Structure 1
């Protein structure tokens, strides 16, 4: 009986993990994601972010305006992957803004992105507000 109840508990934990990673929610800090329009031309930026279980939705943001959301990284298996689509000037680009397997140690509790025409730039404000890492658009 004891081994059967341990198996049942393990099965429940794995199912919660695969359903969205929140089975041990109190053990992982919430990550706050901030995506900011950095087009100095005053152009609006369309942003639509989602992961496999959550669609954050579409918003059109003006210069220096943030698109913000929060989520909790998975505890058991690092499987959180948020990607966003960006529209501006009749162009569409996409980019992975959070990949738990690569970003969990670097991001901790906040993730700040500035979106430019040439690509997104991540600013690690918790380590150094002047630390900017820019990337080309995904192809």
Structure 2
């Protein structure tokens, strides 16, 4: 049985659609942050009956650490951001946000 992650990312102005990803697949998108500094992209994902969401790009947080790119890895325990300053590992780990 192939594990499929259903990913849906969007901002206030741009819906990137739903993508079905199998293990090892990648998804990428490009954008230019707004001059006002309000750019926010968030993603929701579903797999194995679980649903999670997180902010994949928040200008106020990510403007410097994701320059020029953000690379994320998704795991069951949470999501990890590739740390450009270290040795090439996904070092910045975040647990999933609690559902309210």
Note whether the superposition's TM-score is higher than 0.5. yes
Give the TM-score normalised by structure 1.
Answer: 0.65
CA RMSD of aligned residues (A): 1.5
Q: CA deviation at 1:64?
A: 1.4
Residue of structure 2 equivalent to 1:91: 50
- Which structure has more relative contact order (CA 8 Å, sep 6+)? It is 1
Q: In 1, Cα distance between the equivalents of 2:46 and 2:59? A: 25
Whether 1:43 aligns to 2:3 is yes
Residue of structure 2 equivalent to 1:4: none
Residue of structure 2 equivalent to 1:100: 59
Residue of structure 2 equivalent to 1:56: 16
Q: In 2, Cα distance between the equivalents of 1:132 and 1:123? A: 6
Number of residue equivalences: 97
**Aligned pairs for 1:105-116 within 5 A:** 105-116=64-75
Higher helix share: 1
Higher Rg: 1
Give the TM-score normalised by structure 2.
Answer: 0.89
Q: 1:127 aligns with which of 85, 90, 94?
A: 85
